A and B are shown apart, each in its own frame.
Chain A
């Protein structure tokens, strides 16, 4: 520590600014977590297990994380495609489409939820045609996935886009001169270069999707054991003044989120190492 602090830097006040940054981080991020853990610990071990292993809780956790995983995977694919189209081609209205990507960021999630429900309800614009085919979207887990895809789309597009833009044209030209075909260039030159950004974007999309509440509750229908998401369980427990029970579920969500983020970070570290960037 001594060594770092004594190293010369152009910016003065290293100690003060570091202290302030850590204090701020602690206040904003770590303190709520600590409170959460403390609250859950009042429950006792057996009661905690009992709370989180209730069938309704288990089903909701499975739904929340499963739907988020599907949504993130779909977005990894489609988001990459959208980013590719926006970077590689020019077409009329491109700037408009580009601006449209950020809409899910800007839109209040409740508005998104209502809009999606209106479209996919059995008597909605799209639902009316899907219903006779036996495809039910609204008030089913499928609806939840659709909502999650909607809200987490910008993450993948906005992380992949700049990396694709920065990819030098020379790399492709070099590959062409060496006799590579288009598909080979994509698979062996472009995709590996974009992969770290794609992973980051998907991870952020996943994180956002697991915690999504506003847009989901409208379209989910909230049927216990079928389409009830974990954040809703927490809310309903709180409404019944079961604070300890709510925090127990919250702690499990927190642990799972951490675990998934850790896995993705590990994967990123591995690709970065493999690509000689570290």
Chain B
């Protein structure tokens, strides 16, 4: 009987539309993931094959989360169907046992869900076969991988969610509550995941209990390199196996629970209530004579307003009093709060919850998905409520005008959306209170978040209503909403970014404590007005197409449209249409006429064209293959800045010198192609502009032909004038450099550039191939070292030069630029300051202007200054201290500081996801959210404010004293050395324990970074400038280890010699190998280690497998520690080969408490000594006075170790 029921159920579910719609949707998603070059739902690096085993596994796991919506429809239906259809009593009166009935049905429904999920492997498999897929992005297809991913990884999750929501449906007997359960589960799971993700020490626990197996999957593969991801899928063992088994077990337990809670028949309580009511009504059963005539209706204006308000109140009560609303709101509050709690964390430290930080993370957080869910849900409810409740005939036959029926519904929905936004604000205020931040800025909350986001959400809601109205069923409307959301996401990933056709779209409004909304809100609101006009049309159409009464077809409504549009609705729609077109025209003028809009595709085309026409032709190779160009020896800028407009006029001049050793006939000049540059004029006496095809002018590239060639050693002056500014607003955020309060602009933005960098070229190999370019664009290889390459540093034309920069700005702002301030005059509402570097510096210049507060501390002959916004005073003293400590370390150990001032200057957060600090000669612009609003007061956290300050200050040595040649390994000399400098500063301030805590983050980031490498991982010595995970992360770990092994003195001596030899000189510039040679000279006995760290990609694997502690008769303890050691060398793709370890020195420690835990200190160290480790297993014995509880090799994780958690082990007997 069981199997008959299961079979029937299975076939029944297979006939349901939800099966086919669900399967189709997931097949399409999987198909698209595989064969569309731009869709990467999993965020995998493009070097990872689309059909890499790891990627297939990841998609199979990830999609189960969303598939739970489909699964729930199957299994909840099993329980609820009979009650809904009224077939229940009949079914239950048959002699089928409860087990056969319930479990049979569950089995059938689960079977259908499982079969439906086959859409994912099948969709991916077919997608990978599509002829248009770039073959470079595919590996061999292995059916076994698809099957493994489906059965071992995905199916347990399908079973778990089936069992869970079967049980929820059994208990609640309601589809709605079951789906509320789904949302709650989803949110709780997200919260749990996010919470645990912030605690690296708990990642194994998180991986074990994450219900969908995604945590375990990621945990198993977190340090996998690209090669590994392309070759393998995490095997069914360890955490993954354990997790899958737990989830299957949990599923069975839930089933049992659901089974035992299942009660057939109607609920007793309901029956009793009905009977009581009946009795109450019966008490007064009597004939009542019909009274006099009832009042007649009066149709006047007063009635209309009564109808409107009464209906609005009624609709709102229907929504706001429903339990689902309270639950959804609670979920929204929880989601916002948890998201806020963790947003902006860096190295485990929270930012200050300033209004800006809160509102920004709310605005771009996951709440918008809730907004979609809620708007679609309630639009469906409101549109279909009368029909579902079967009151549509009574209401439809009443004298209520249509508008008074529909408008209140829309108003109610709009208020629901506003309430979601307000509850998010409440979460924000709550978080501020929890963090003890009492500067509540309610007005800013409203202007920055509540008002704009409410409008955006209401726009979504109007669309949801419209889609519900034109749909023949509630679910169709919901489906259309999902289709819209996906289409919008896909359109944006395909580069269709014009907000004129992206409903509800518009440029973001970057928020900043410094700059407020700046002028950015203007464009955002024009777009909002544009889409609001469209929404009014949608709303009017919804009104006219509304199916009143018993009519279910849409066609009659369409036919009646002209009739129904007559009068006010038509007038309104017409007015809205006029507004829509007029505003659209105005926006078009702004975004397409005054400013240029380029889709991502067009932008890429342009980059490709630029590469072909300019880079390849003139600059791709160093001279003599590329073109020669003169060097700049003196720079002069006169910058006239009008921050409120914003507008900037630069008059400048370069003194050029021919250092090429041969006559120069042409000078190539290039200008920042950003539209913010409105015009640029070159003044080069005796030169004529060469006539070039129009494409060159369009790409802002010119060649000036000199009438008389420039002889070697000859100098000439080139003048220029650049006008920067913006007119109106753009499709996206325009110009984040020139702003009302907080202008930060560099010479690469406003001054002519002589040679061209690789920086602006297409990098993604898939996109490059799609544009017919070679896969890779790389700096010169270390192996190709030559004098020509050594002639350029990595800032391209930034030769050592003097500078003279004058900045004029509004009187209330402080102008800043590199150089000693020689004058500062305020007159006629303008402030003018002149900054001069009379000793040559590298030509990388910034101009800043803002309403700054200033803190200046003279220290050992250097002015340490912080220019900051009065809103963000929190870390100013910390920054000054950092500069002091750094100066005290860098001067004696590296080289004296070359300037008399070191200035940190805040700039506003205007580009989301890009907060950084940069080092210019004697000035370090620093984005407000990176350090100015960081809250690092808790001594348990890592003080990354000091770290960043020390790093940027370090660049004054490692970039502005010594700069590498433009080739592989150049950033070892700048970024890695700045990292080392910062580490030493931190160590002086906080001691080595803090450094270990910090390096754990760096090691983790390095090992993870390997998995998203696009081309090839390189050893530190060959690191390329876009490989931050190597030059920052690995660099910090490697330098600290090196310093630990050969001693601080030797490292610093090598660095000192590097500066002595190469500092403050132009070409030839040093390369990484020069530093390596100096290091080897200092520590000739440690050549092996230096090669391991810099020349190769070396990974150690040190594992302490056992520590036995035995008490001796004399009261002491015998301790034996067993250590397994291995070493690998990886190639650029992550393929590893074993390397023999021959007696390498390692720390070995025995501790009374686990190092790294709270309260651990020197008192807990029982034994700490150096031992020699070789490949294989080795034992070490000790006799100690105290019993250790923890012990192992490399206890402080100094080495680059794939599993840094198994270095220590707890004692056993």
- A associates with B: no
Q: Which residues of A contact B (CB under 8 A)?
A: none
